[in-house]
Structures are given as structure tokens and as C-alpha cells.
Structure 1
């Protein structure tokens, strides 16, 4: 039997690649003769670079040190693909876990722009940028400033970094902004939020980054001010991704906003793998109703259903009713007995989950195909 193992990362606990290996290992303890293919996935957030690296072993990892979202240096990895493209991940340079303490008004994306600049300096002809897990709400202006953008107030003074500073924005100078690479820029997003308003970057995601109600009001007004001076399409679905970084890069650098989960799946060859598969295993940290709204597992379920494949899901926690497109699900917390135990050794419990799913699905699948 041919099995495709294609999980997302379990955020803050285990990478998608490690999760895939653990699930596959558990499955093979019960069914050692099966043909198991690993395709770890991501939706544009944490694990995007790893997903591409696992699927494209000929790609080369490059490391660069850049200012993190609070200015302290961080080390980020980008991936150089054989066709000249570079894969970047905002979470590695400007992600919320990199902050010593939340700073919703001052955190910035300068590090992302510095990584992009390093990739361009190395000869990248196309950029694929995963946007997810951002610490800031700066409309991508930090990243663009690392690429040469200049932002000034009414007196001509350079603005400080951070989203709150955009409230004083008066002049946008693109004269020194590096051109986008000839192959363009793809932005992988996992949300459909617009830039501003009640469903926008500040209102919906600002509180996750430490923003209080007054901070949300200030940041939303600052993003509106940016859009008023820059133009573009602030209402485009996904423009609010990563604190509005998608909007800024689209409006000022011509980047294209695309759904992260489905785009990554296509780029790493998942459709072809599903066409040859008998069964699919996937997983994520928490499986609930939000999993079905553009996330990795939801996108995978749709693709598997279209291909007529049964799906087993392993998740840290399973919350709410499990959709009919899932043939079997396993909660690591239930296996381990507690959240703490599951987090202490996620690889162990993912391996156990793989074995449980093999027991539940393997024999059923063989019966279904008449073996």
C-alpha cells in the first residue's frame, strides 16, 4: 500500500519534517511492507523553508544574521533553489517567538527585508516568501526599508521602525528601493484578512502580538495612513497577512499574494504524489474548525477528497466535531495523558499516533481495495 505522509509543523513543538518522519515510523512498525512517501508541508508560516528543503533535496540552505523584530540579531535560513528562486520565511527573521517581550507598536519586519536583500545579492531571480507568525504590524515597511525605501514625517525626518511610527508618515520615497527580481515575488499567506478595519491586521491579529485596545486603534489608523499615501489594494484578501506585510510588498514591490498551503503543496509535488497514493496521513498542533479555512490540513483534506483518498489525522489536540472527510483521528494529548506530556516528547507520541492510525486504517484500506 502506498502512503503519503504530509503534516504541517506542530507549532513550537516539532517541525513538519520531524512530524512526518515520526508518523511514518509509527505506521511502519505496524505495516513494514508499505511504501511510505514523506512530503512535509507548510502554509507560509513556520516550517516553510523546511518543507521546500525536504521536497527539493538539491536546494541549498544559506544562513544570514539580520536584525530581529526587536532589533537584536537573529540567524535566519533561506533556501536557494536550482532554478534561481529563493525561499524565505518571515517567521525566521521577524517572528513573534524571536521577541524578548511583546512590543506591538515598535516591532518590525526589517529582518525579512535584510534576508531578501541577501538572497538578491546572491543572485536570486525570484523570491517565494512565506508570511506567517509575524511579531509586528508595520505593513511590511520594515522589510521594504531594508530594501531601500525611505519614510519621512512632515519635517522630512526619517521615521523610526515599527507600526506605530506610521501614524506620522507624510512622505514615501521609493527612489532607492531595490527593484523586485525579474521572476517576481510570491507571498504565501494563510489568512484572507484585508489590511485595515474590523477584520484587518491590527484588529484581528494585533492582540495576539500584545496589542491593547488603544494600540489596535493606533495601529489600524497607521496602516490606513500608509495605504492612503501608497495606494495599491488594501482590501485584497490576504493583504493583512503578517501585520500587513503582504500589502506593503504587493503595493510597493509588485509582489503577488497567493494562498500558502495550496501553493506550497503544488510546488513540492503533492498533487502527483496523491495521484499515486492509496492513503494519506496528515497532522498539526490543533485540529479544529479553523483547520478548514486555508490551513495545511484543511487544504490537504480537500485535495484528498477530490482524489478519492481516505485521510488519517494526528493532532496535538482534536477539538470539536471531526469532519466526514477524516477517516480516523488521533490526539497526542489523549495518547500521552496530558498536554505537558505530549509537549515533552512530541516525536514519541507522533510515532505512537502513526501506529494507531495504521491499526485503524491499514486493514480497512486493504479490505476496501480487495486485498
Structure 2
């Protein structure tokens, strides 16, 4: 029996690695000699750094950076086991939870801290980057991040501009003469699971600005600023990011990364599964186990479990889905390669108790055991 476990974390409860260990314990109560291969995965959002670093035996780095309001904080990122690839969640330095509700103002907030993280990784020898977008407190088009890397943005009088979304409409000159020399050697992959353009009705400001503290007038101002910046970028670099799918992610950081650093935007799950090399573990596997905290109709929209199931189906491998919660519409995943679904909940319990790691581990282990007991019964019956 060969089982590949590629399961996303149960947010707020168990990491991908902890789930893998619990599932292995349950399986081996039935198939003691089973070959279990655990591949930590994520979809580019919360938990991605942990899954990738642990999965490649890399290292975590804690550094002092500036938060969206330029206060000093400690942010964590990862360097993968190859020693040259940094994996960064922009929310670690520029995320919305870092800003108190009464201080949220995308005219002031900046992605400068994310740039500081990239700069630190470059100084440690990294030349390949995976950056996860999402959960930002910012709407600065990535200008803050670029400032941390040596870019300067000047107004029409040649004066250097400050921080935040308020400078978008004032940028007249992009000065890249003093950027980090090493940037020319760097490659950036950006995990982006939204298709919003840079500006407009579906752009960064209109769709995400309000949750970051913008009122109606500010949203219009920010949107006009992004439109202006896109034109300045086009004149400087010949790149039109205005309608680029994903350019509006993280307050326009997606577009800024493409414009200034030649980044490539790809679905997070696609990047992660390629990076961990899931395909190489699937040969001759009998089952694949995947899942996440909650499986519902949204799981088919770029989430990690369906990415795993699609890959497994190319090899003709049955896929078992495990979740803390199965929504009524979870069966939509059957059309995307997940053959059977199981919730780990064995009896009524409060959400608070269900999220406790010790309870979740117990439930995962027990359900894995029972699933594979059934498999063994079927194997015995139908191979007679």
C-alpha cells in the first residue's frame, strides 16, 4: 500500500505537517507496512510559508521591518531547502491585521516592509522568489515595496515622494538608477488567485479599498491614482498593466511586481505544487489524501485540494478528501477529481473545541483508521 498525503492546513488548528502525521498514524493502524509519503502543500495564502519551508527542509527567518504605517515590527519569511528560493507572504509585513481598525487608511499605508523582506533575502543570497499576495492593508500599487529596493518616485518638480496610496497621482518620474544591482539576477513568481485589473470598477481600489478603510471619495482618488501610475509605467517601461488579470491584487502590488520586477503572476496552488514536486511522488500510488479545513464550492476555484486531485487523476489514482467541515455543496469537488469526502467530526462539538489541536489530531487519526479499515474490507472481499 502506497499513500501520498498532500493536504492543506486546517487554519487555526493543524498545520499541513501535523495533519500528515495524524493521517499516517491512523493508516498504519490498519496497514502497518504502508509506504506513506507526506507532501506539505498550501494554496499561496495563509500557511504557505510554513508548508513550503517544512516540506523542503528549509529555514525560517525573522527580521525587523516596517509595518504598513512604518512602525517597526518583526516579520517572518522562509528560505526553501535549496538555499536560493525565498518564500514570502506579503501580509507578514503589509497585512491588514497589522493596522488597528481606527487607523486603516490606504492613502497612508505602504508595502515598504514587504520590500525590506525581499531586500533581506537578496542579501542572504536568494535570487528566486515566491510571493503570496492577499490580505493587504495597502493600495499603493507596490510603490512602497519598490522604494525599499532602491526605486525613487518623483513629482513633476523632481521632488522625491513619500509613502502610501496618496502619492499615486503625483508620480511623474520613476528613478531606477539606484536600485539593488542584484535585482537583475532575480526571478519573481507571484501567487495570485484573483483576476482583478489594476484600476476601474473591478480594480484594486473599488473592489478592496473599503475593507482597508477607504470611503467613497478616497476610492475614487486611489483609482484615479492607479490609472495615472499605469500611464507613467507605460511611458517608462512600455508595459501596459492596466487590464492585466491579477494586477489589482493586494492593492495593485500584483501590477507593480510585473511592471518593476518582471514578475510572473500564477495561481498559488499551481506554483506550490510545482515547487514541492508533487508529481514525482505519485507514481504507483494506491491513494492520494488531500483536503483543507472546510470543503465547499469555493474549493474548486483554485484551492489546493482540487489542484492535487487534478494532478492525481492524470495518474489514475483515487483521491480521498478530508475536511474539518463539509458544506452542503462540497460534492461539487467530485467533478474535479475528489472521489470521496469525509468530515473528521465524529460527534457534536463546539467550534472552539473542534479547533483545539489535540482534538483535531484525535479526530483525524481515528477517521483515517476507519477509512482504511473499510478499504481493507473491500480489498479482502473483492480480491478473493
Which has the greater radius of gyration?
2
User: What is the DSSP-based 3-state SS (H/G/I as helix, E as strand, rest coil) of the residue aligned with 2:207?
Assistant: helix
Kept in 1: contact 2:192–2:268 (CA 8 A): yes
- Residue aligning to 1:327: 339
- Residue aligning to 2:204: 201
Q: Provide the C-alpha distance between the structure 1 equivalents of 2:269 and 2:209, rounded to a whole number of angstroms.
A: 23
Q: Provide the C-alpha distance between the structure 2 equivalents of 1:32 and 1:242, rounded to a whole number of angstroms.
A: 47
Gaps of 5+ in 1: none
Q: Provide the C-alpha distance between the structure 1 equivalents of 2:323 and 2:105, rounded to a whole number of angstroms.
A: 30
Kept in 2: contact 1:104–1:206 (CA 8 A): no
Q: Provide the C-alpha distance between the structure 1 equivalents of 2:23 and 2:217, rounded to a whole number of angstroms.
A: 45
Q: Provide the C-alpha distance between the structure 2 equivalents of 1:350 and 1:47, rounded to a whole number of angstroms.
A: 18
Kept in 2: contact 1:69–1:98 (CA 8 A): yes
- Residue aligning to 1:364: 375
Q: 1:252-331 to 2 correspondence within 5 Å?
A: 252-321=260-329, 322-323=331-332, 324=334, 325-331=337-343
How many residue pairs match? The answer is: 369
Q: Provide the C-alpha distance between the structure 2 equivalents of 1:213 and 1:368, rounded to a whole number of angstroms.
A: 62
Q: Provide the C-alpha distance between the structure 2 equivalents of 1:333 and 1:355, rounded to a whole number of angstroms.
A: 10
Kept in 2: contact 1:196–1:234 (CA 8 A): yes
CA offsets per residue over residues 167-220 of structure 1, 9 Å max, x none? 333332222222424252222222232222233333333344444444433332
Kept in 1: contact 2:345–2:363 (CA 8 A): no
My pick for the range that moved more, 139-148 or 63-72, is: 63-72
Query: How far off is 1:229 after superposition?
Result: 1.1
Kept in 1: contact 2:49–2:87 (CA 8 A): yes
User: What is the DSSP-based 3-state SS (H/G/I as helix, E as strand, rest coil) of the residue aligned with 1:142?
Assistant: helix
Kept in 2: contact 1:104–1:137 (CA 8 A): no
Kept in 2: contact 1:46–1:92 (CA 8 A): no
Per the normalisation by structure 1, the TM-score is: 0.87
User: What is the DSSP-based 3-state SS (H/G/I as helix, E as strand, rest coil) of the residue aligned with 2:79?
Assistant: strand
Kept in 2: contact 1:332–1:350 (CA 8 A): no
1:68 aligns with 2:67: yes
Kept in 1: contact 2:344–2:364 (CA 8 A): yes
1:353 aligns with 2:353: no
- Residue aligning to 2:122: 120
- Residue aligning to 2:352: 340
Q: Provide the C-alpha distance between the structure 1 equivalents of 2:358 and 2:207, rounded to a whole number of angstroms.
A: 32
1:222 aligns with 2:231: no
Kept in 1: contact 2:188–2:264 (CA 8 A): yes
The alignment yields a C-alpha RMSD, in angstroms, of: 2.8
- Residue aligning to 1:162: 164
Of 237, 242, 250 in structure 2, the residue corresponding to residue 234 of structure 1 is 242
Q: Provide the C-alpha distance between the structure 2 equivalents of 1:142 and 1:253, rounded to a whole number of angstroms.
A: 13
Per the normalisation by structure 2, the TM-score is: 0.85
- Residue aligning to 1:250: 258
